[in-house]
Structure 1
Amino acid sequence: MTQAQILTQALIFDVDGTLAETEDCHRRAFNQTFAEFGLKWQWDPPLYGALLKVSGGKERMRAFWHRHPHAVPADALDELIAGMHRRKTEIYTQWVASGAVALRPGIARLIAEARAAGLRLAIATTTTRANVMALMAGTGLNPAWFETMACSDDAPVKKPAPLVYALVLSRLGLAAPLCLAIEDSSNGVRAAQAAGIPVVMSPSAFTQGDNPAGAKAVWPDFGGVSLAMLVG
């Protein structure tokens, strides 16, 4: 076992795009919500891929509104976004809790290997806790396996800001170099880096073009990645 393996005490997982390819499910939930609210907004995959540069669903809707400010009066925007985000969460959580998405290749095995090796597990995500719990219900992950989950409910300043990672470090009581972050996007890599945490990256379907600068390793998926490779 290498020195890096000895030092790594915790794995910190991002969720959307990292644990599972959830983003197209998010996209379709947004589109259904827009239709229910009478908006002619439709986010196709290329547009949604561009909007993912903005972390957080509410923030993404606000960024899109700035491109189409005449669709909704500015003084009604906050209330509308809050209402649409609640409805979008309802739609999305129903879908993923029923098994609409699967874990990405290698994720279940890596989590099992990490637990067997005595590594601590945590979540650091810009999505809501409701979304995380629904995904776990639909994929068979046990929330009890993760010592802490820091979500957008806890850290409103989203990635690439390091707030969510700093919160996880504080809850774990570990120094940043003793952890390893697992991400799919440049925003996530930058957030982990800013918190001082070593990070590896596996781009998702929507983050294939992201800059991996700062990641100590990049893989297309984790199907052929062992725990020793991950933390080595």
Structure 2
Amino acid sequence: MAGTLAGLILDLDGLAIDSESTYRAAWRAAAAEMGYRYSDADWAGLLGLSGPDVLAGLANLAGDGFDQARFRQLSGEIWLAQVETDGIAVKPGLPELLEVAQAAGIPYCIATNSRAAAARRSLAYAGLAETFPLLVAVDQVARGKPAPDVYLAAAGRLGLPASACLALEDSPVGVAAAVAAGIRCWLVPSSYPVDALAGRQAERVLSDLREAADFISAARSLPL
């Protein structure tokens, strides 16, 4: 899909920062403490979903008796203790990607299925508190991903039509949201194997954000 790139929209969890691994670790620990065991396939099926949808998915897998309130509190306590000690890692290539965007005069915005306060907190633990002044979160729109709302709102925040933007995503849910918004999308998977449908929907499947930075840098004067 050719076109001029005027704006960049990035997913947050699993794409810009490695927060998804911290969430999964906390969720696994909380589930184990409550006596539940989930498979890797179970966790993979929750990739990219909003917090309430993750809870609903875990409850559905567990069956009757799953205490969502206790799980939310316990996993939150475990997560906070973990990130206060270890922080959250920035995904490889993010600094290079933002440097290329800034040099090319391409504005960027976060579009996330996290709530705004949680997203800002995660960015702070990653050392990026001031890096993304533009951010659209799931609690600022009517519907979360895979609905297109956060992406349409992010394009609006950039002051651009959807067709002039490029989305970078790591999950099938996120790719579906970007495509539904009419935004071309590059997939940078945070888990393997790559989801077949997401791989077909995405314009490119990349190994990391460095590769995205290289493509954008090479295409500054050319249609992408």
Task: Assess, with a 3 A threshold, how the Cα gap between structure 1 residues 155 and 100 changes in structure 2: closer, same or farther.
Answer: same
Residue 101 of structure 2 is matched in structure 1 by 114
Quote how far apart the aligned CAs of 1:210 are.
4.8
Superposition TM-score, scaled by structure 2 size:
0.82
Q: Are 1:130 and 2:102 matched, yes or no?
A: no
Q: Could you tell me which runs of 5 or more consecutive residues in structure 2 were left unpaired when the two chains were aligned.
A: none
Q: Relative to structure 2, which stretch is displaced further, 185-194 or 14-23?
A: 14-23
Matches within 5 A, 1:65-84: 65-72=59-66, 80-82=67-69, 84=71
Q: Any idea what SS the aligned residue of 2:182 has? A: coil
Runs (4+) off by over 4 Å? none
Q: Relative to structure 2, which stretch is displaced further, 159-168 or 15-24?
A: 15-24
> How many residues in Structure 1 have an aligned counterpart in Structure 2?
217
Quote how far apart the aligned CAs of 1:94 are.
4.9
Residue 15 of structure 2 is matched in structure 1 by 18
Quote how far apart the aligned CAs of 1:111 are.
0.9
Residue 164 of structure 2 is matched in structure 1 by 178
Partner Cα separation in structure 2 for residue 118 and residue 92 of structure 1? 36
Task: Assess, with a 3 A threshold, how the Cα gap between structure 1 residues 101 and 133 changes in structure 2: closer, same or farther.
Answer: same
What CA deviation, in whole Å up to 9, does each residue of 1:171-219 have, x standing for no partner? Answer: 2221011111110122111111111111111111266335312211111
Residue 216 of structure 1 is matched in structure 2 by 203
Partner Cα separation in structure 1 for residue 219 and residue 42 of structure 2? 32
Matches within 5 A, 1:1-232: 4=3, 7-34=4-31, 39-52=34-47, 55-72=49-66, 80-82=67-69, 84-85=71-72, 88-96=75-83, 98-143=85-130, 145-155=131-141, 157-205=143-191, 208-211=194-197, 212-225=199-212, 226=214, 227-229=216-218, 232=224
Partner Cα separation in structure 1 for residue 219 and residue 10 of structure 2? 12
Amino acid aligned to 2:21: D
Contact 2:47 2:171 in 1 (8 A): no
Superposition TM-score, scaled by structure 1 size:
0.79
Partner Cα separation in structure 1 for residue 110 and residue 207 of structure 2? 21
Alignment root-mean-square deviation, CA: 2.7
> Percent identity over the alignment?
29
Q: Relative to structure 2, which stretch is displaced further, 196-205 or 152-161?
A: 152-161
